Amino acid sequence: MTRTRLKPASLTITLSLVLALLTLPAFAADVDLGSGATTGALDLQSIGPITFGSNGVLFVADSTRAAVYAIDTGDAKRTDAADVSIDDINAKVAGLLGTTADDIVINDVAVNPLSNNLYLSITRGQGESADFAIVTASASGKLALLDLDSIRYAKADLHDAPTEDQQDRRGRALRREALTDLEFHQGTLLVTGLSNEEFSSKLRKFSFPFKGVAGGTNVEIFHGAHGRWETNAPVRTMTVYDIDGEPNVLAAYTCTPLVKFPMSDLANGKKVNGHTVAELGNRNRPLDMFVYKQGSTDYVLMANSSRGVMKIDLNRIDEVDQITDRVADKAGLPYETIAELVGVDQLARYGEDRAVVLSRTDNGSSLRTIALP
């Protein structure tokens, strides 16, 4: 896939760059992105999930290139969270990029925890002429394009041997892994993906700042059903949660189980069995989730393609037994469905007591903050 590039016009007498950029702090020291950090044009071949690390570092997944980029947004000024409400977000983002809402997809929304600016992962157009962009939204609703033509970034390849997967023996690029989620926790970046060929669950773990361009730990995740069956399952979305001081991954599969496993299990060569803590019921396709505290209780808030937003009580997570019996629609940890949150496609934590939701409405789409339920 080639990206269309603008060529400088020969008539130019003065050339003024008026791309809307984020204001960069004047004297910011370079953030450590690890070995291989470079400044230049970030030529994405696709864009999927995005998530923030610390110091304004944004991780960007490129499934076609089978890589994750860490980019220094320079957006590291602490700003208070405020209510955000942008109606018709798809049309407005499309307008900024010179097209209409039907021609763009908002793949993901990430919140910069320092500036509380929102970052949107955007695909514009189709096929070979598609473009990939990151659009920012401030609390006041101002949209801007993040300039990827000149930016500091580092790359982590998902395959040790990229050539193995890039082309088959007829030169076709058939095998591709759709990257489904990124999660950053204290210097560790977790990446999940779903292959368009073999059915397995790969979870990769990278240390950040990136050390070397390739590698990362590659782990297959299994889950049990009723203590009897054990299968592979692709993880769709995940979050990290401390249980008794030990970081655990909470992972939701494309089929129904929600599982946990200690992050320390993600070591080379180890087989990881997710411990099922809830089975979330029929037609459940988890989209996004995060953990928050309310009073003395921890909850997971999870967006779900058909059930709206679910609030799952984590209070008994260290006690809940592996689900072994035949159960009704729900099992394990109790949850409730937040009735007023419907059509939610993207969900992210925003500040201490809010979430940001991208939702489909009758007359378009909206990006807004809500109080945590």
71-110 binders of other proteins (CB under 8 A): 91-92, 94-100, 103, 105
Site for other proteins, residues 120 to 179, rule: CB under 8 A: 124-129, 131, 133, 143-145, 168-170, 172-176, 178-179
Query: CB-wise, 69 or 292, nearer to other proteins?
Result: 69
The DSSP-derived string for 285-354 is -EEEEEEEEETTEEEEEEEETTTEEEEEE-TTTTTPPPP-S---S-EES-EEEETT--SEEEEEEETTTE
Determine, following the binding rule CB under 8 A, whether residue 24 of this chain makes contact with other proteins: no
Structure tokens at 24: 């960069």
Q: How far apart are CA 61 and CA 110, in angstroms?
A: 12
Which 34-53 residues touch other proteins, going by CB under 8 A?
45, 48
Q: Which stretch binds other proteins (CB under 8 A): 111-119, 224-232, 307-315, 361-369?
A: 224-232
**Near other proteins by CB under 8 A: residue from 79, 85, 268, 294:** 268
Question: Closest separation between CB of residue 332 and other proteins, Å?
Answer: 12
The interface region with other proteins, picked from 111-119, 199-207, 292-300, 349-357 by CB under 8 A, is 199-207
List beta partners, residue 181.
192
Rule CB under 8 A: which of 275-334 touch other proteins? 279, 281-285, 287, 305, 326-327, 329
Q: Which amino acid is at 200?
A: S
Give the H or E element holding residue 89. Answer: helix 89-96
Q: Taking contact as CB under 8 A, which single stretch among the options 29-37, 254-262, 333-341, 359-367 is the one that binds other proteins? A: 254-262
Strand order in the sheet with 143-145: 104-111, 118-124, 131-137, 143-145
State the Cα–Cα distance between residues 95 and 102, nearest whole angstrom: 11
Site for other proteins in 334-363 (CB under 8 A): 345
Rounded to the nearest whole angstrom, what is the least distance from the CB of residue 277 to other proteins in the complex? 15
